[in-house]
Amino acid sequence: MPSRTEKQWQHHETNKAMRKVRKQIKRNRKAKRTRTKDWRSLSPLGVSGNLGDLDDVFGYDCAESEPVMPRGERERRQALVQSALASLREEKDEAHTSEPPRLAGVQGTVTQVSSGLCRVQVDDQELVCGIRGSLSAEDTGYTNVIAVGDEVIASEDSAGRGIVETVLPRRSVLARPDVFYGHLQQVIVANADQVLVVASWRDPPLWPELLDRYLIAAERCGLAPIVCINKTDLAEDISACQEALRPYLNLGHRTLFTSALTGNGVDRLREMLHGQTTVLAGMSGVGKSSLLNAVQPGLQLRTAQVSDYSHSGRHTTAQVNLLRLEIGGYVVDTPGIREFGVAGLRRRDLIDFYPELAAMEGQCRFKDCSHTQVRGCAVRAAVGQDGVFETRYRSYQQIYESLLESQAQERAQAQERAWR
Ligand SMILES: Nc1nc2c(ncn2[C@@H]2O[C@H](COP(=O)(O)OP(=O)(O)O)[C@@H](O)[C@H]2O)c(=O)[nH]1
Ligand SMILES: [Mg+2]
Ligand SMILES: [Zn+2]
């Protein structure tokens, strides 16, 4: 009885043959119409595609509807299929005697995903892999089968074509509500350990509300945060920076001061990244790329897209890359973590992310106190006292105002956005 991987490999070979057949049929066709990418492939569902997506990437059309065929065309196609299948049978016999798969069932880490293809890091090697069509995300509540950071079992044939066989269980998930399927989540990064929240002291100035949004996002995904203030070379007085981070130190978060320009704090940052999978968060311009470059020169340069295979070069902005550190570990620079940081969070649950404020709420006069009004609010009265910082209270208020009363409201709004 053939082993499981062997069976899967045969399945792969059959797909290969079918592509060959389509290609031959295609060759005899008239001018190729311009391919416009189907909009659905932009949705996260595109990622859960099967081997059909490989055809798409390599520019072969899948079988199209055939309303009227020229005389003899059907016979011609049938003959092509027959001869291709015959030659596959021969190839397979040869393959069995001389060419076993080059790699079978190796474990690796997904570093890039793009419309049905992904890059898998296996030790010092990198495989470009298709994704086994039988893999399905539906049962898991996620819209994408595979995400960067996923640990997978992959195989590669002697011609260098890889396939992801299995996605191993995830240790953590950085996810956001799916744009099209609000009840499902889209995995952005799998198996991350921590979030490095980067802010700059100046240019752009420190923005406590945004910092707190990132911290909330990290906590909701169960990832340990590190709060980093960069561009400290622009501070007249470093003690002012330290003062700004005191609320976070008090809460027990790891904090860090850096300057990508002078190299201050970069050694400490490198230590913190070592051996971990770190998600980078922070608004544009705070110096994330500069810091990565200080940690490891050239780290961000190799950002060729897997989708470059199709020479389309599109949706590069949506691309999330796992960057491999020489010292061990990975870094992910992902846009958009800010938006989904508080998505679906209810107003009354916001206080849970402000433990120093939550400690006071039992003393508010009204049981349903929102802590944004003065009347009878013990939280507000405590602001400025030991351990209750003005900046934190203000960010609580701002985020509170931006949240909706209920999850139902949030869902309705998301749906509206999707249809617009
Ligand atoms: N003075 C100073 N400028 C910095 C520092 N880090 C980055 N920059 C500058 O800030 C700008 C934005 O940096 P970049 O790394 O592209 O930020 P990103 O958008 O977060 O990746 C660039 O002009 C950098 O040269 C720093 O530590 N000190
Ligand atoms: Mg950058
Ligand atoms: Zn209150």
- Assess whether the C-beta atom of 231 lies below 6 angstroms from ligand 1: yes
Block residue for tokens 């893999």? 135
Residues 6+ apart with CB under 8 A from 290: 230, 260, 261
Distance of CA 17 to the CA centre of its chain: 33
From the list 79, 64, 70, 71, the residue with the least C-alpha distance to 24 is: 79
Q: Which ligand is nearest to the CA of 334?
A: 2
Ranges assigned E (strand) in 169-243: 173-177, 185-190, 194-200, 224-230
Candidates 201, 203, 284, 290: which one to mutate for ligand 1, based on the most atoms within 8 Å of Cβ? 290
- Assess whether the C-beta atom of 200 lies below 6 angstroms from ligand 1: no
Specify the ligand 1 atom closest to the Cα of 198. 20
- Assess whether the C-beta atom of 259 lies below 6 angstroms from ligand 1: yes
CA dihedral sign, ordered 113, 118, 123, 125: negative
Domains of the chain, first to last? 1-187 (2.40.50.140), 192-340 (3.40.50.300), 347-403 (1.10.40.50)
Distance of CA 294 to the CA centre of its chain: 24
Closest CA to ligand 1's atom 2 = 231
Q: Which ligand is nearest to the CA of 202?
A: 1
Asked which of 132-141, 180-189, 381-390 is least confident by mean pLDDT, the reply is 132-141
From the list 11, 45, 191, the residue with the least C-alpha distance to 107 is: 191
Could you tell me the pTM of the whole model? Answer: 0.72
Side chain identity at residue 131, one-letter code: I
Average pLDDT for 46-55: 29
- Report pLDDT for 246: 96
Three-state SS for 124? coil
- Assess whether the C-beta atom of 289 lies below 6 angstroms from ligand 1: yes
Rounded-to-integer distance, Cα 357 and Cα 372, Å: 12
Three-state SS for 296? coil
From the CA of 73, how far away is ligand 2's center (Å)?
54
The model's pLDDT over 211-256, given as tens digits with 9 standing for 90+, comes to 999 999 999 989 999 999 999 999 999 999 999 999 999 999 999 9
Q: Which ligand is nearest to the CA of 284?
A: 1
Rounded-to-integer distance, Cα 282 and Cα 273, Å: 16
From the CA of 210, how far away is ligand 3's center (Å)?
23
- Report pLDDT for 160: 78
Phi-psi region of 384 (alpha: psi -120 to 50; beta: other; left: phi over 0): left
Q: Which ligand is nearest to the CA of 260?
A: 1
From the CA of 315, how far away is ligand 1's center (Å)?
25
Q: Average pLDDT, whole number, for the chain?
A: 77
The model's pLDDT over 11-43, given as tens digits with 9 standing for 90+, comes to 544 555 555 555 544 444 444 333 333 333 332
